[in-house]
Structure 1
Amino acid sequence: MEYHDSEKAQEVAGRVEAFMDEVVLPLEREMLATGDTISNDELAELWEMAKERDLFAPQMPEEYGGQGLDFADMLPSFEQVGRSLIGAHSIRANAPQEGNMHTLEMVGTEEQKEEYLRPLVQGEMTSGFSMTEPMQGGGSDPKMLQTTAIKDGDEWVVNGHKWWTSDGWDADFFLVMARTDLDEHPYAGTSIILVPRETEGVELVRNVGHLGAPELLEASGGHAEIKYNDVRVPVENTVGEEGKGFQIAQMRLGGGRLTHCMRYSGMAERALEISKAYLSEREGFGSDLAEKQTLRQRIADAETKLHMARCGVRHAARELDRSEARIEVAMSKVYTANVCNEIMDLAVQCLGANGVANDLPVAAFYGDVRAFRLFDGPDEVHRRTIARHAFEDVATEEIEHALRFDEDRIVDELKREAPADD
């Protein structure tokens, strides 16, 4: 399909696609077959190759070592890296690093950018975004946030319990969402605090096991459970304006949801490619499976829905350059997540035994994509946002006109039925 992405976006995405086909996908196939992981040295080699091809950190400004693509132009490249389980890591465009880079670049101080952003972009540091909490803390309803950061002189004292801090197990620092003004509503009294890993009181409890793709990176940071016990950091470690944590997180998550949509769209596209190739070669009941009407119809539906998802993400990206685009992003996220889940389930079904074996990446895709309907906001929360917006736009004039019409009709009928002397 032709999406009329900019010439620059298409050119970079074409080079990313070639890098995936020539370097990354063969390495991924080998790892899935052997059960091995990529070592830190091998990952560093991928980064060097990406730099040589001018593909490294496409989403970051050139001054920090990135390629300087604007948001809309980088999305097609994110779709290409999504075709591989290690694709995003290979060009330093993986979550949560990409979102944390964007946050520091967007609202960080010059000191924070030099000390943390520059080495983060270059892969010399890694980070975690520490927001989600166990029951009854912040999750789908972020207003339930329990972690606090209270000022004591020129320091924050952070106390709280987090989990699902992606890449947190090996992170050098954390961006911690915490209540900093308990007298304010959480939306107005929450800040983001940068906490270095080695700070006294940071307790890494465990790396949470989870459904999903196998960990293919030796240094995978997993999803850490962390306790912050009287953790003291300077007030200047506040990321962005104090009390604006939710607004900053929303800016971070808006773009992050769309980059996730593109990565998973790429994954869904590859799963369909594998399925179609298999159906074209596999015979059953007297003909190729690709000739079976039911399968052809389901593939057609999958292609159509994936196309619609890609169009929606591109539209939301254009709107995000102009506004918060909260509704467009919510629609794209919930629709794309469900479409990618449907496609992965279809791919497993089409491939049969090969769909659940690790010889192909589809089994790993299948486990990985299910979480997409939960992280960055579950389906139900996004639908709630969309529904609230829909009902705010109800045409009340039409309803009032209908009620007035009905009232006038009743009065006329009563007049006709009333005795003449009345």
Structure 2
Amino acid sequence: MAVDFAQDPEVLALADRTRWLVKDTVLDAEKASSGVLTGDEGEAVRGKLQQAAKDAGVFAPHVSAEYGGHGLDMRGRAPVFEEAGYSLLGPLALNIAAPDEGNMHMLERIASPEQRERYLRPLATGAVRSCFAMTEPAPGAGADPAALTTHAAQAAGGWVLNGRKWFITGADGAAYAICMARTSGAPGDRGGATMFFVDADNPGMRMVRHIETLDESLYGGHCELVFDDCFVPDDAVLGEVDRGFEYAQVRLGPARLTHCMRWLGIARRAQDIALERANERRLFGSRLAELGMAQQMIADNEIDIAAARALILRACWEIDLDQPSAQSVSIAKTFTAEAVYRTVDRALQLCGSLGVSGDVPLSRFLREVRPFRIYDGPSETHRWAIAKRAAKQARTAADA
């Protein structure tokens, strides 16, 4: 079957409106805040940006029309998310930032009708935020989710959760957490996890601290949470008991790709900054853009951006057709995470001392994109999985 990367005119129009929203409104907010929003002032900016996105008709492009969105498939999301990602605050404006975007995707597919009304609808409208509590301090769940140690035990009318989570993005100010806890088996077992809704006012869940990190732009920070005899009722179970790892794949594959889409926007922005500087900067008797080593960096950036975009679209196409996509997602995530970093790094190098300064946002971008080689699965873990699948496929072909 041929791979069709052509986009519908409606998608292209949505991407175009997103581009203008970012340039006319969002970039000014980013410049004023360096892309970092916190506290009441940050919440006020979030509200203004999201209202601007609603006024522009680009808000929540990924959720269905039933919840106020445009119902874009994965392929349709790619150009829109990339345009939003041109600014650190663009995804927040469109309500497609992590972790909310991934949670919305999962809730539309797994939550009960009652849960969708209670948890998805306010999230899709931007009335609340959420977080996804899976990652734990070592030796708990991280690159290997099966190491899950947080435990949920049945009690009268519900469940009691105990455990510690960390690097929970967006937890500060979230209205609820979706917590992954083990309901059967032991750490290391590949099954036995369940997802639970935990409301922010639950006395059994508390935030211990904000974790100081290289990146700062993800709204609500990266936090450490403790679940201490945290009781939740039976209707807090998301989906079915013991199917949490299965449900996580519904979320994680698409979320890895949407991360790639957003960061590709920042790579494009970095390249645009570098190109502007290379065309205006004169030294050694010519423009910087006319010097061979500068041209190589410019060309390598163009290659990395184009290759990442193609890999993202291929993986999106497989997901949209409900084909096996794990290999393509891992390849796209690994390549894009590293290509985006290379692109920002080269752009900074091309700009020289200007790139290191705060006069352009390249040094901020470098700090923001570096952790993506760890978040959503380290590059090394994805390479291990890619190699395992390739070797298995070769064995299968040889035995046929």
Q: If the TM-score is normalised by the length of the shorter chain, which range does it land in?
A: over 0.9
Which residue of 1 is the match for residue 31 of structure 2? 29
Q: CA deviation at 1:30?
A: 3.3
State which of 153, 158, 167 in structure 2 corresponds to 1:150. Answer: 153
What is the rounded CA distance, in whole Å, between the counterparts of 1:81 and 1:205 in structure 2? 32
Which residue of 2 is the match for residue 419 of structure 1? none
SS in 2 for 1:39: helix
Which residue of 2 is the match for residue 232 of structure 1? 231
Which residue of 1 is the match for residue 42 of structure 2? 39
CA contact (8 A) 2:315 2:332 kept: yes
What is the rounded CA distance, in whole Å, between the counterparts of 1:214 and 1:240 in structure 2? 31
CA contact (8 A) 1:164 1:223 kept: yes
Per the normalisation by structure 1, the TM-score is: 0.89
Q: CA deviation at 1:225?
A: 0.3
Q: Which runs of 5+ in 2 are unaligned?
A: none
CA contact (8 A) 2:35 2:89 kept: no
CA distance change for structure 1 residues 34 and 208 in 2, over 3 Å: closer, same or farther? closer
Q: CA deviation at 1:277?
A: 0.5
State which of 8, 13, 16 in structure 1 corresponds to 2:10. Answer: 8
Letter of the aligned partner of 1:236 in structure 2? D
Which residue of 2 is the match for residue 283 of structure 1? 282
CA contact (8 A) 1:129 1:174 kept: yes
Which residue of 2 is the match for residue 18 of structure 1? 20
Which residue of 1 is the match for residue 195 of structure 2? 192
Larger Cα-atom Rg:
1
Report sequence identity in percent. 37
Deviation string 1:224-246 (CA, Å, 9 cap, x unpaired) is: 10110010001211111211111
What is the rounded CA distance, in whole Å, between the counterparts of 1:29 and 1:41 in structure 2? 16
CA contact (8 A) 1:175 1:193 kept: yes
Letter of the aligned partner of 1:320 in structure 2? I
CA distance change for structure 1 residues 123 and 349 in 2, over 3 Å: closer, same or farther? same
Per the normalisation by structure 2, the TM-score is: 0.94
What is the rounded CA distance, in whole Å, between the counterparts of 1:34 and 1:57 in structure 2? 21
Which residue of 1 is the match for residue 378 of structure 2? 378
SS in 1 for 2:137: coil
What is the rounded CA distance, in whole Å, between the counterparts of 1:214 and 1:359 in structure 2? 18
Which residue of 2 is the match for residue 409 of structure 1? none
Mapping 1:17-416, distance limit 5 Å: 17-32=19-34, 39-182=42-185, 186-213=189-216, 220-321=219-320, 322-394=322-394
Deviation string 1:19-62 (CA, Å, 9 cap, x unpaired) is: 11111113322333999996322321222221122111110111
What is the rounded CA distance, in whole Å, between the counterparts of 1:186 and 1:197 in structure 2? 29
Q: Which runs of 5+ in 1 are unaligned?
A: 401-422
SS in 2 for 1:50: helix
Deviation string 1:335-383 (CA, Å, 9 cap, x unpaired) is: 1111001111111111112212222121111000001101111101111
What is the rounded CA distance, in whole Å, between the counterparts of 1:154 and 1:30 in structure 2? 49
Letter of the aligned partner of 1:229 in structure 2? D
SS in 1 for 2:34: helix
Moved more, 365-374 or 205-214: 205-214
Moved more, 256-265 or 194-203: 194-203
CA RMSD for the aligned pairs? 2.2
Would you identify which runs of 4 or more consecutive aligned residues in structure 1 move more than 6 Å? 33-37, 396-400
